[in-house]
A and B are shown apart, each in its own frame.
Chain A
Amino acid sequence: MRLAAAELVDSREILPGQWLQAYHAPDLAVGSRAGQFIHIRTGDFSGMVLRRPFSINTADPATGIVTIHFRVIGRGTEWFTRLRPGDRIDLLGPLGRPFEVDPRSRHLLLVAGGLGIAGVRMLADEAIRGGRRVTLLFGAASAREIYPSTLLPDEVEYVVATDDGSLGHHGFVTELVPDYEAWADQAFACGPAPMLAALARLAAGRRERLGVAKLGRRRGGGRTDPVGSPAARRKAFLQVSMEQNMGCAVGACLGCVVMSTSGTPQRVCREGPVFAADEIAWEGGW
C-alpha cells in the first residue's frame, strides 16, 4: 500500500454509462494481484471528501498500465469521466486481499454480474498466464450491457445471460452455474449481493453432491487453516469479491464491514474484498 500519482492514458465509454480508463502507474501494475483495489481521490476536495474505491480491472507490468472500469453513479464517478489524457490522479493502493487460486486448480469458473466484471477481470489474465482454463459467466440486464468480448483474453470461454433474454441465456447468470459445477475446480465471483448469496447457496452443497468429500483426498490433508487466512481461502471452492460503502479503505474507520459467520464484522477493505463464500453471513446477522 502506498500513495502514488498516476497519469490518465486513455478513457473510453465502453458501454452506456460505463467507462474504462487506463492509467500509467508502474509500481501498482507490478505490485498488485487480482482481487485487489485502489482508492482514488477526486479533484473536488471541498465537495467530495471521500476517495472512490475501484477494483483493479487489469494491470500490465510490462507497460505499467492499470485499468479501472466503472459505471457513472454519482458526482464522483462523473468527475472521473471528465478527466483527459495527461491528467494526473492521486491513488492509494494496492489495497485488500487478492483471490487465492489453489495451485492444483486447472479449471476456473468466473461469475460476474454487471459491473462485477471489474472485480474478476484481472483474475482471467492471471489464470491464463498460469496455464489454466477459464470460463466466464456474465450476467446483465440486457444485450446492450454485455461486456465486449474484445476486452477479454482470447482463451476465455465466454457465456452470457440476460434478464430480458435479449442475448444468451434468458434469466439470471446464477442459473448457468450448475452446468459448470462438475467442470470447475474453483469459482470466483463478483456482483450484486443477491447474486453472490445465490452462488454461495449453490456452492454449499457441492462437495456432497459430487462426492468429493468421500472420493477425493481432502484438500490440505485434513489440516485446518484459520478462517480467513489465505491458505483457508485457497481451499474454498467459491471466493467472492464483496462491495460496501467505504471510508478510509485501510481498515481504520470500520465503515465497510460485512458480517461473518463467526459473528465478527469483517472489513471489506482489509480482510476482503475477497472472502471465501462460507465466511460471509449472507443473511446479515446484526
Chain B
Amino acid sequence: MTGPGRPTGTVRARPASELRLSAARATAAAPVRPAAAAGARGAAQARPAPVEIRAADVDLTVDLGRGLVLPNPIMVASGTFGYGVEYGEVVDVNRLGGICCKGTTLEPRIGNPTPRVTETPGGMLNSIGLQNPGVDAVIERYAAAWATWRAPVLVNVAGESVRDYVEVTRRLDGVPGVAGIELNISCPNVGKGGFQFAIDAGAAGEVTAAVRRVTDLPLLVKLSPNVADIRPIARAIADAGADALTAINTLSGIAVAPGRSRPLLGNIYGGLSGPALKPVALRIVYEAAQVVKIPVIAIGGVTELADVLDFLAVGAVAVQVGTAIFADPTLPVRLADELAAECGRNGLTTYRDLIGTARPARAGQPSVKGVEYRP
C-alpha cells in the first residue's frame, strides 16, 4: 500500500496521516492512539526501509461502539456462514473478526422454491427467500454456542414490517451470545405496498429508529445497492441511531434456464454476489463513508487481500467475506493473517492507517454526482 519506491507513496503518505484525523472524526469508533500514529508517521519518513513489525504486534481490533470490539476486521457475511456451526472443524470460528448469521425472522420461513442458487460470470445468484426457523428457535439452538466463542456473533434480522423488526430485536436483546444486530432492510415492506425498506430513506430511517428504541445492542444496518443514490439513505440510517453501516447486500438480477423457456431461479429474481459485485460495492462504500460519521463495513466480492485493502482505502473499517467462503472456507482467517503481515511489512502498528487512503482529500461533493456514467 505504502510500499517504498512507488511514485504514489509520497502522495499517499500525507493524506493518510490527514486521513487518520478524518477517520478518527468520521469513525469515532476507531480512534488512532497517539503511539500508533507516531509509529506510522515514523515509518512514512523512513520510507526506503520501513521498520518491520511482527504481524502478531499489529493491532487489528475494530471498535464499533457500544462495547462491540471485533478481534480483527475480517467478518463473515450473512447467509454464507449459516449460524457459524456448519463448517465444523474446517474453520476456526475463534479466529474470525465477527460472524453475521443467516437472516432471521419472527416466524419460521420455508423460503423460496428451487433452484435457489446458480453461478454467473464472476459471481452467483441466490434467492433463498430467508428460509430460517424463526428467532426463538435460532436463540434456542445456537446462542449457547455463540456465547462461548471469541468472535462476536451478530444476528441478521429481517422482517416485513417495522413491528417484525422490533419484535425480533426485542427477543434478541439481552440474550447471551448475541453481540449485535445487523438489520437486513432489503425486504419488502408489506405495510407499504411491498417496497423494500432499503430503497427509501424514510422507511430505512423509520425501521432503524424503531429498532434503536428497543435495544442497546450494537446496531448495524445493511445497505442495498439497488438504489439510485445511496447517500440520503445512508444519512437517514445514521441519523436514526445506527452504530454502523454494512454495504452492500446483493444486486438484483436474473439468470435464464437451460432451454431458455423460463428464468432459472424458482423465484425468478436473485441477488448477485461475488467478485462481479466488487466495483459496485466499492462505489457505494466510497459514497456512504463520505456522508456518515459512523463506521462502514464493506461487503462485495472479497476474495483476496487486495480486495480488503481496496475497501479499507475507500473508507471501510472492516470487511465481510461472503461468496468466497463457498470456494475457500478458510479464506477469512487467512485474510486476517495476511492483513497483519501486510501491516507489519509496512511498519504499521495498526491496520487503521490503511483506512480511507483513497478517499478524496476534501469531503466529497454533495450528491450531484449520480450513479450514471460521467465522462
A-side residues, CB < 8 A to B, are 1-3, 41, 45-51, 76, 92, 244-259, 263-265, 270, 284, 286
Bound Cα distance from A232 to B265, whole angstroms: 32
B128 contacts A254, C-beta separation under 8 Å: yes
Residue in A48, A51, A247, A254 whose beta carbon sits within 8 Å of that of B111 in the complex: A254
- Chain B residues, Cβ within 8 Å of A76: 119
- Chain A residues, Cβ within 8 Å of B128: 253-255
Q: Is B82 an interface position by the 8 A CB rule?
A: yes
Q: Is B373 an interface position by the 8 A CB rule?
A: no
- Residues of B100-156 at the interface with A, using a CB-CB cut-off of 8 Å, are 102, 110-119, 121-124, 126, 128, 131
- Chain B residues, Cβ within 8 Å of A257: 111, 114, 116, 131
A256 contacts B329, C-beta separation under 8 Å: no
Q: Which of B80, B87, B275, B327 has the most CB of A within 10 A?
A: B327
Q: Which residue of A lies closest to B275 (CB)?
A: A46
Bound Cα distance from A256 to B115, whole angstroms: 7
A254 contacts B113, C-beta separation under 8 Å: no
Bound Cα distance from A253 to B128, whole angstroms: 8
A248 contacts B124, C-beta separation under 8 Å: no
A253 contacts B79, C-beta separation under 8 Å: yes
A45 contacts B303, C-beta separation under 8 Å: yes
Give 7 A-B pairs besides A46-B122, A253-B117, A253-B128 with Cβ atoms closer than 8 angstroms.
A3-B329, A245-B115, A247-B117, A247-B124, A247-B126, A251-B82, A253-B82
Q: How many interface residues does chain B have, given as a range?
A: 35 or more
The contact sample of 6 A-B pairs, CB cut-off 8 A, is A252-B87, A253-B117, A255-B117, A256-B117, A270-B86, A284-B113
- Chain B residues, Cβ within 8 Å of A263: 110
Interface secondary structure of A, over-half rule? loop
Q: Which residue of A lies closest to B301 (CB)?
A: A49
A245 contacts B118, C-beta separation under 8 Å: yes
B326 contacts A265, C-beta separation under 8 Å: no
Q: Is B266 an interface position by the 8 A CB rule?
A: yes
Q: Is B330 an interface position by the 8 A CB rule?
A: yes
B114 contacts A50, C-beta separation under 8 Å: no
Bound Cα distance from A180 to B87, whole angstroms: 41
A45 contacts B90, C-beta separation under 8 Å: no
A246 contacts B117, C-beta separation under 8 Å: yes
Q: Is B328 an interface position by the 8 A CB rule?
A: yes
B126 contacts A255, C-beta separation under 8 Å: yes
A2 contacts B131, C-beta separation under 8 Å: no
A264 contacts B110, C-beta separation under 8 Å: yes
Residue in A3, A47, A51 whose beta carbon sits within 8 Å of that of B326 in the complex: A51
Residue in A244, A253, A284 whose beta carbon sits within 8 Å of that of B115 in the complex: A244
- Chain A residues, Cβ within 8 Å of B118: 245
Residue in A1, A48, A258 whose beta carbon sits within 8 Å of that of B88 in the complex: A1
Bound Cα distance from A1 to B329, whole angstroms: 12
- Chain B residues, Cβ within 8 Å of A247: 117, 124, 126, 326
CB contact under 8 A between A245 and B114, given known A1-B88, A50-B119 = yes
B88 contacts A49, C-beta separation under 8 Å: no
A3 contacts B90, C-beta separation under 8 Å: yes
B81 contacts A252, C-beta separation under 8 Å: yes
Bound Cα distance from A1 to B88, whole angstroms: 8
B123 contacts A2, C-beta separation under 8 Å: no
Bound Cα distance from A92 to B275, whole angstroms: 22
Q: Is B89 an interface position by the 8 A CB rule?
A: yes
- Chain B residues, Cβ within 8 Å of A264: 110
- Chain B residues, Cβ within 8 Å of A251: 82, 86
Residue in A45, A244, A253 whose beta carbon sits within 8 Å of that of B327 in the complex: A45
B86 contacts A248, C-beta separation under 8 Å: yes
B113 contacts A50, C-beta separation under 8 Å: no
- Chain A residues, Cβ within 8 Å of B327: 41, 45, 49-51
Q: Is B323 an interface position by the 8 A CB rule?
A: yes
Q: Which of A76, A248, A263 has the most CB of B within 10 A?
A: A248
Bound Cα distance from A2 to B329, whole angstroms: 11
- Chain A residues, Cβ within 8 Å of B266: 286
- Chain A residues, Cβ within 8 Å of B80: 248, 252-253
Q: Which residue of B lies closest to A255 (CB)?
A: B117
Bound Cα distance from A108 to B13, whole angstroms: 72
A286 contacts B113, C-beta separation under 8 Å: yes
Q: Which residue of B lies closest to A269 (CB)?
A: B86
